[in-house]
């Protein structure tokens, strides 16, 4: 039995709000990066600063990252469809991997450029004050953009936006390197440019590897951490009617959300509707108390049911009921049977037969006759007779 989580109207509004915030943060980043990249490259050429040109190239990489993020956020908000029954949250995961790749490539380029300058140590024209001023303005803008984007990422619980925020921070760090390199070159220490580029490259590589590893783990269906799985177990165990559980499995998606499925054992004699109600209660409790759970599939199982070849070989109702009806068709109670219920327990079947109250005086004789039938048919362990008014069935128009 399964029960998918149905998002409430409030949850949907929150998702739309998070989407708007992520899109706005990404657009703001793009609007800052585009002119900033052009200005730094142009002033770097005019002001004789290779460091500022490299910093401009870094901002251009940020612009490309913004474009990827914007597309992924847009696709990630699409509803589940036939080809993507779990939604499109993995779009953000894939984009996080791509942003991480941009970080690593940029880190390698900065480190290579720094090592190259250290190795050649060629004389160059000192940069101008204009280059120094642009590097300073870039530092302020990119640091502010970092904190703004990081705040949005944490509110929306988005690893993708957080990775992009750190990409902005890496650009701010490269602006620091450019600032130190320009100042050092103006004071006669050009090697500072190369050393700063190498240091920033290493920091940028660390960030890229961190987010790349997280997104890789998610793409290969890595589950929640052990402490969060324990929280899920504890919440399921508190639902009345749950005896124990098995095969609790989770997999993360979209950085924060997780999908789960679990087998839950209940009293084997509860009705189908009660078992379904228990599964609804499990879903409701997990959605309320475990932030990561976006969808839970609950499989209800009867406690004591054996997961064995013999249990799996038991005949279905359509196979065993005709044999039972042939066996009891000559009994006096046969024409009064109102309902037949089958209970599959371990590797046997228990049968409940509902009869009208008018047959209560004949209980001992009827029970003895049905007991004889139970002994003749091998999968049947017991036939119980219940008496009462006919159960009303609800019509569906």
Q: Which of 114-123, 133-142, 275-284, 336-345 has the lowest mean pLDDT?
A: 114-123
| pLDDT value at residue 4 | 41
Would you say 245 and 237 are in contact if contact means Cβ atoms under 8 Å apart?
Answer: yes
pLDDT tens readout for residues 161-209? 787 788 778 778 778 877 887 888 788 776 776 676 677 677 778 877 8
Q: Return the number of other C-beta atoms located less than 10 Å from residue 24's C-beta.
A: 12
pLDDT confidence bin for 391, thresholds 50/70/90: low
Q: Which residue from 34, 155, 160, 31 is spatially nearest to 98, judged by alpha carbons?
A: 160
Q: What is the value of pTM for the model shown?
A: 0.55
Would you say 161 and 169 are in contact if contact means Cβ atoms under 8 Å apart?
Answer: no
Rounded mean pLDDT, 371-385: 93
| pLDDT value at residue 10 | 47
Does residue 119 register a pLDDT over 70? Answer: yes
- Which comes out higher in pLDDT, residue 223 or 391? 223
Q: Is the dihedral of CA 159, 223, 215, 174 positive or negative?
A: positive
By percentage, how much of the chain surpasses pLDDT 90?
22
Does residue 281 register a pLDDT over 80? Answer: yes
Q: Three-state SS for 314?
A: coil
Rounded CA separation 305/312 (Å): 10
Rounded CA separation 271/209 (Å): 52
Q: Return the number of other C-beta atoms located less than 10 Å from residue 278's C-beta.
A: 22
By percentage, how much of the chain surpasses pLDDT 70?
77
Does residue 122 register a pLDDT over 70? Answer: no
Cα dihedral: 362, 367, 368, 371 (round 10): 160
pLDDT tens readout for residues 303-352? 877 667 778 888 999 999 999 999 999 999 999 999 999 998 878 899 99
Rounded mean pLDDT, 288-304: 83
């Amino acid at each position: 039995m399964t029960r998918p989580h149905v998002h409430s109207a409030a949850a949907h509004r929150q998702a739309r709000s998070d989407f708007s915030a992520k899109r706005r943060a990404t657009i703001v980043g793009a609007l800052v990066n585009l002119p900033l990249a052009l200005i730094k490259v142009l002033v770097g050429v005019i002001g004789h600063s290779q460091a500022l040109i490299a910093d401009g190239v870094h901002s251009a990489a940020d612009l490309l990252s913004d474009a990827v993020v914007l597309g992924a956020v847009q696709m990630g908000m699409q509803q589940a469809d036939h080809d993507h029954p779990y939604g499109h949250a993995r779009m953000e995961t894939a984009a996080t991997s791509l942003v991480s790749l941009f970080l690593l490539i940029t880190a390698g380029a900065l480190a290579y450029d720094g090592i190259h300058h250290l190795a050649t140590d060629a004389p160059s024209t000192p940069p101008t004050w204009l280059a120094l001023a642009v590097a300073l303005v870039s530092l302020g803008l990119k640091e502010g953009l970092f904190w703004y984007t990081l705040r949005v990422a944490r509110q929306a619980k988005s690893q993708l936006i957080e990775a992009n925020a750190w990409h902005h921070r890496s650009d701010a760090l490269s602006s620091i390197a450019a600032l130190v390199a320009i100042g050092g070159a103006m004071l006669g220490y050009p090697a500072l440019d190369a050393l700063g580029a190498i240091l920033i490259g290493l920091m940028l590589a660390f960030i890229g590897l961190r987010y790349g590893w997280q997104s890789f783990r998610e793409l290969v269906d890595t589950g929640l951490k052990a402490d969060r799985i324990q929280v899920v177990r504890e919440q399921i165990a508190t639902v009345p009617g749950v005896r124990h559980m098995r095969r609790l499995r989770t997999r993360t998606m979209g950085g924060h959300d997780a999908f789960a499925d679990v087998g839950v054992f209940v009293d084997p004699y509860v009705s189908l509707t009660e078992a379904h109600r228990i599964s609804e209660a499990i879903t409701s409790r997990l959605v309320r108390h475990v932030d990561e759970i976006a969808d839970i599939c609950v499989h209800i199982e009867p406690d004591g049911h054996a997961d064995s070849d013999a249990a799996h070989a038991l005949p279905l109702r359509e196979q065993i009921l005709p044999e039972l009806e042939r066996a009891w068709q000559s009994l006096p109670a046969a024409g009064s049977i109102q309902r037949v219920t089958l209970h599959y327990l371990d590797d046997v079947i228990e049968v409940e037969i509902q009869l009208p109250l008018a047959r209560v005086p004949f209980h001992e004789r009827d029970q003895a006759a049905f007991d004889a039938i139970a002994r003749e048919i091998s999968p049947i362990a017991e036939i119980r007779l219940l008496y009462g008014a006919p159960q009303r069935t609800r019509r569906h128009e």
